[in-house]
Chain A
């Protein structure tokens, strides 16, 4: 889809403005960066990294956080105490510091970054799922399910999980957005995904240095991030209402 390979350097064509409003080169629709790489191609390729990282991190966090939150809310007692303690430890820690430490120790790359971002997002899921499970557990229809002899695993699966799923989806969309932004921050600090692969965050941070001379270098990745985050949130909202049969 991209007109050029995203890493092709052409120093003769560096810092070209976009094809509009001032006449740039129609060949480089969104202009070029400081070493003459095509912005449009880099944004298209960057989408792969940003979306893959954001979605994987949100998914991983959603699975881990939801399972832990369900268990904490439903079983209560020692299970709840242990999981709540984990949540609080995670929340008390300055996350960026923690992420830099982990990535510096274990090295960057796709999987470590996804893992570290999942560490940041699972707390969102665990907290919300836990509190909703706590209130659902006391609902009459859950007591009624107990009253007809439905077992605990089945109650969790059929009665509690579907009821918290809309919230999980909404939190997932926020978390995907958050993960994309955090990945950008990590790339800026040089501990992100492989620097040779373009990611929106890394492009944005590179563009920061040229903000006064080449506005397009920071603006277009920024718009891409903003649109993606907005889209993720809108989709989360829509899914949230669609998953609830009462709202149909």
Chain B
């Protein structure tokens, strides 16, 4: 069994009356790349913010299990938590313009992590920061370190943010839609960069996205979320070739394909998260709905995958919740 970096079981996140995450389970092992997929509002971001206890103060969180490197994130005292953040698990944010401090130079921001977590002297931190910029493909690092975020292009900024994330030499890298704000050509370069760095450093990677196609080439496992719940999780090849949950099937069908023109549009909208649901949350939009869906399905094992759908029930034994 490989070392587990992040282990989340039965996570609930509530904002007032809104239940953003309802019983999500997720784990990432050492050296493993996991994709977390879902539409806007499916609870992806709430899940990963909770993983580092970065959720806004008005969020109420509970989980039967939420550990980062074996530490219970929800009860960990602040100083210990600060040592984990950036050192054990680092995060790349969606929009690098707002996620970098506009008033500090790139060099200062990368060096901050280095001096904090690696106890380097300012001069060493500077040298190390330049080396990191080279690693993420930024040329002329000495000049670039002295510049402010607004002097960088979008792609460059995201590279700088990756450099800052790598500065703590983390075991787990969490990427929250890191390419969404970028051009398609830059997206491809960054995906390749992150995937390469992950393999090279043997990091765990949790890649959050709504772009199924972009993710296919880099992750080992995919977790599909809908309305705050995990619908299906499994190895990427199996999930793409043989999706079991009707929602996963609908997601894959909605991708535009060259040979079939535009993808199919999934009818309806996601459920109102402020109201408690009984039964399967996807049932109202599901084409394979049946009477049994009035009851919420548990996770069923189906091949290498786990599926929260009654359709998978006969094929596999039920996983203990």
Contact = CB atoms under 8 A, between A and B. Distances in A.
A23 interface: no
Interface string B257-293: 0000000000000000000000000000000000000
Interface residues of A, number: 22
B83 interface: yes
B82 A147 contact: no
Contacts of B95: 140
B71 to A, nearest CB: 13
B153 interface: no
B112 A148 contact: yes
A248 to B, nearest CB: 9
B65 interface: no
A149 B117 contact: yes
B102 interface: yes
B98 interface: yes
B148 A159 contact: no
Q: How large is the interface on B (under 10, 10 to 19, 20 to 34, 35 or more residues)?
A: 35 or more
B85 A148 contact: yes
B87 A147 contact: no
Nearest to A144: B99
A151 B79 CA distance: 8
B56 A141 contact: no
Interface in A124-179: 138-141, 143-151, 158-159, 162-163
A148 B103 contact: no
A76 to B, nearest CB: 6
A245 B52 contact: no
B86 A147 contact: yes
Contacts of B127: none
Interface in B93-133: 93-95, 98-104, 112-113, 116-117
A12 interface: no
B113 A148 contact: yes
B116 A148 contact: yes
B201 interface: no
A143 B93 contact: yes
6 contacts: A144-B91, A149-B82, A149-B113, A150-B116, A163-B102, A245-B103
Interface of B: 49, 52, 54, 56-57, 78, 81-87, 90-91, 93-95, 98-104, 112-113, 116-117, 148, 150, 161, 164-165, 167-168
